[in-house]
Structure 1
Amino acid sequence: MDLAWRVCPVPLWLLLQSLLLGLSAGAAVDWPAQEGKEAWDYVTVRKDAHMFWWLYYATNPCKNFSELPLVMWLQGGPGGSSTGFGNFEEIGPLDTHLKPRNTTWLQSASLLFVDNPVGTGFSYVNTTDAYAKDLDTVASDMMVLLKSFFDCHKEFQTVPFYIFSESYGGKMAAGISLELHKAVQQGNIKCNFSGVALGDSWISPVDSVLSWGPYLYSMSLLDDKGLAEVSNIAEQVLDAINKGFYKEATQLWGKAETIIEKNTDGVNFYNILTKSTPETSMESSLEFLRSPLVRLCQRHVRNLQRDTLSQLMNGPIRKKLKIIPEDCSWGGQSSYVFISMEGDFMKPVIHIVDELLEAGINVIVYNGQLDLIVDTMGQEAWLRKLKWPYLSKFNQLKWKALYSNPKSSETSAFVKSYENLAFYWILRAGHMVPADQGEMALKMMRLVTHQESDA
């Protein structure tokens, strides 16, 4: 493939914006400095398994990209696309209408979006047995990609490297971070790994499920009868997990969601102050035709592949990238990604977070106040299960209030940190924190990467 297709001295997002404004790529446009370039490519991580990544160099007007951190963003699902949803819906330079995002993280960090596991977004497999079936494979694949990336982009080897994640991406980020730490220690990958941020993360699924009932009840979204029904199915999920029946636990998890929707008049699992979208409701009417697993995939992965985003990715973006195979459509294999991970989906990874903390890796947990599927109560519950020696001292600390706007007295978040563990409570945000509270999410990223202080 021609390398010129993959490295763009002029940011692709500006090219796209110019096209939207009716300009040609050769028209007079006020381009930023050279550090605003982009790069993208595929890495074959295993036989028949190809992973796509997309890099934006930071565009801070006062600093070169080499003076700012590199942030890798991992989406959830599994099967949600970082290069699509994380990029155009949350933290990238443009939104899905190709309009500039005021709260883009690109002003404070270079951004690396990776479509993982293989089969997600523009990533693809050639054979069905190449899909990842567990976290070990997901982490192993990412080690291949990161080694290739840092070998080819030596300018980032000394830049502080952070992994930020969301939802199931947090579970993957935990496993990936531990393997990356080992690879760096062994000298297999050259990078300055500086920390991992677990956002609304599926670290301990059962703790989320067990807290759904009490959380909804406290928010006046369940009555006594509804609470009893949700608590009953949650106990069934717990029993299945205790017995190691993880596929059964996944199916019971789906049943629990259905019970909640019926008792709450269709509460949105991603933000309790809203209801499920009409599109989701239409799909629900056909759910009886689908298997339980397919229904779960449609409900959660489809949410990350809205029509507007899908049209953008399979239209202008695909045309500009030029390296996407003809028989590969963005999101075309995502349902198989989700289904292939069925046996791994409900497994907890609290022990991995413990290993990260013990290794001295900076671990940041953040959660949206209005999230249900990974509610804050559930996050706090698994945190209390950590065996980290400093946990008692962490728990004794009083949190600090944070303000996204220094001129406003409105509290945007709370934070508590001790040694290498921090927790951010993000107010008025649902599951997708950067989409709901862009200013606070950007501030949090700057705090995590030591670009400002919470004092």
Structure 2
Amino acid sequence: MWPLRAATGLSLLLLAAGVVLRQSQEPDELWGYVQVRSKAHMFWWLYYANNPTKDFTELPLILWLQGGPGASGCGFGNFEEIGPLDKEMKPRNTTWLQAASILFVDNPVGTGFSYVDDCSLFAKNLTTVVSDMMVFLGKFFTCRTEFQTIPFYIFSESYGGKMAAGIALELQQAVQKGTIKCNFMGTALGDSWISPLDSVLSWGPYLYSTSLLDDNGLAEVTAVAKEIMDAINKNQYVLATELWGKAEGVIEENTDNVNFYNIMTKEVPEMKSNEQENLHLIGLYQRHVKNMHKDSLNELMNGPIRKKLKIIPDSVKWGGQSRDVFENMAEDFMKPVIGIVDQLLAANVNVTVYNGQLDLIVDTMGQEAWIRKLKWPNLGQFNQQRWKALYVSPESTETAAFHKAYENFAFFWILKAGHMVPSDQGEMALKMVRMVTQQQH
């Protein structure tokens, strides 16, 4: 479904929230469904860039991919991180629409407002996730010809980074073959689940170095991390995912429930599920997907937003199939995609890695560990670069990030940010977007 531009819904929401509108504040939007397979429907939401001095044709297009798998970009990424409005319907000062048009997609199918009519159709691996997105992107660029020549980037967060790597490689090949017409310029992997094992192995040392584990706690976390490593080495990926859930439990017990998304904020533990089937998987889902369906966002998406969109089927509830999405990907969850990043670099695709200093689930130490494993011939030269301190503005004296780049690879160390970098450090995230998309150095 490809509706005409529809800014009226946003106007009504803003007016209802008592916001005085100026025409220039109001981004044009589009949304719709694409059937990516028979009985598998993907929801997307596009906002045209909203910059006071530049038309959207002068700015790039960014596809945003959320994590989970099963967390909604159209919901969480949009209203909690980078969209024009926050979940209170107030304008966001650090929206990425100042620097780009944004395309949110609820993927894999079953996420957010996306849905499947048949439970056998949930994606079970990265291959299916990628092929579904290729169908979507093919239809998008065919129908929205105004974006075919505009620089196109894929930005991502968490498990979205793993999906972004696979999608970027497939898209690069499709563009070269001429099967998809777009100006693909690169991908940015934010706090990304590229190498689950490297993340897990770094949890103990990271928590120990920040005084959140003692010697006994470090020994316990190290022991369970070794169990996960053994399972992965034997290709027992479902077991590795279950043990990953166990490892998080061990960490919570030893750290008085540290917040996996930001070690400086307190996590209030959720009630444990009474169900006896795979408790570790249920715990993982509750911590990493349900966590992004908090009541206020859930009420917004299933209330005012659903009314505004007008095309959501009665049988579809936002987030209603998210647990199925997560559980169907259990075998794929702990598989690394370092090799895909190597292929991207070899194909001369621009790859950016960015990570929040206070993130635990995908801590920076773990990111640096998998980067050391790259077979990219220029890795030595990248490592020899001195990193540069970044500030949110010329007037600021506080270091907001460090940055290092060589050829087509870049890394941003974002200070005082957790797993959701744009939520924690919105100004620095926006500056990073401008740097990655070559609007600022």
Q: TM-score range by the shorter chain?
A: over 0.9
Identity score, percent: 67
Given that 1:7 and 1:37 are in contact with CA atoms closer than 8 Å, whether structure 2 keeps it comes out as: no
Counterpart amino acid of residue 385 in structure 2: L
Which of 429, 432, 435 is 1:441 aligned to? 429
Counterpart amino acid of residue 180 in structure 1: L
* Equivalent residue number for residue 22 of structure 2: 30
Matched, 1:194 2:188: no
Structure 1: gaps of 5 or more residues: 24-28
| C-alpha deviation, 1:408, in angstroms | 1.3
Matched, 1:43 2:40: no
| C-alpha deviation, 1:37, in angstroms | 1.5
Paired residues for 1:97-136 under 5 Å: 97-136=88-127
Counterpart amino acid of residue 238 in structure 2: K
- Partners of 2:363 and 2:9 lie apart in 1 by 36
* Equivalent residue number for residue 174 of structure 1: 165
Q: The residue matched to 2:257 in structure 1 has which SS?
A: coil
Matched, 1:8 2:8: no
Counterpart amino acid of residue 24 in structure 2: P
Q: Aligned pair in 2 of structure 1 residues 421, 11: CA closer, same or farther (>3 Å)?
A: farther
* Equivalent residue number for residue 243 of structure 1: 234
How many residue pairs get aligned? The number is 441
Which of 155, 164, 168 is 1:164 aligned to? 155
- Partners of 1:122 and 1:54 lie apart in 2 by 10
Q: The residue matched to 1:398 in structure 2 has which SS?
A: coil
Counterpart amino acid of residue 407 in structure 1: E
Given that 1:80 and 1:301 are in contact with CA atoms closer than 8 Å, whether structure 2 keeps it comes out as: yes
| C-alpha deviation, 1:284, in angstroms | 3.2
Counterpart amino acid of residue 303 in structure 1: N
Paired residues for 1:39-118 under 5 Å: 39-118=30-109
Given that 2:46 and 2:102 are in contact with CA atoms closer than 8 Å, whether structure 1 keeps it comes out as: yes
* Equivalent residue number for residue 15 of structure 2: 18
Deviation per CA, 1:59-95, whole angstroms, max 9, x where unpaired?
1111110000000100000000000000000000000
- Partners of 1:165 and 1:33 lie apart in 2 by 25
Scaled by the length of structure 1, the TM-score of the pair is 0.95
Q: Aligned pair in 2 of structure 1 residues 167, 31: CA closer, same or farther (>3 Å)?
A: same
Given that 1:203 and 1:349 are in contact with CA atoms closer than 8 Å, whether structure 2 keeps it comes out as: yes
| C-alpha deviation, 1:283, in angstroms | 2.1
Q: Aligned pair in 2 of structure 1 residues 12, 104: CA closer, same or farther (>3 Å)?
A: farther
| C-alpha deviation, 1:288, in angstroms | 6.5
* Equivalent residue number for residue 313 of structure 1: 301
- Partners of 1:22 and 1:214 lie apart in 2 by 47
- Aligned alpha-carbon RMSD (Å): 1.5
Structure 2: gaps of 5 or more residues: none
| C-alpha deviation, 1:107, in angstroms | 1.0
| C-alpha deviation, 1:443, in angstroms | 0.3
| C-alpha deviation, 1:21, in angstroms | 1.9
Q: The residue matched to 2:229 in structure 1 has which SS?
A: helix
Given that 1:13 and 1:94 are in contact with CA atoms closer than 8 Å, whether structure 2 keeps it comes out as: no
Given that 2:175 and 2:181 are in contact with CA atoms closer than 8 Å, whether structure 1 keeps it comes out as: yes
| C-alpha deviation, 1:9, in angstroms | 4.3
Matched, 1:155 2:146: yes
Deviation per CA, 1:299-351, whole angstroms, max 9, x where unpaired?
11011111100100000100010000000010000000000000000000000
Q: Aligned pair in 2 of structure 1 residues 22, 427: CA closer, same or farther (>3 Å)?
A: closer
Counterpart amino acid of residue 409 in structure 1: T
Matched, 1:383 2:383: no
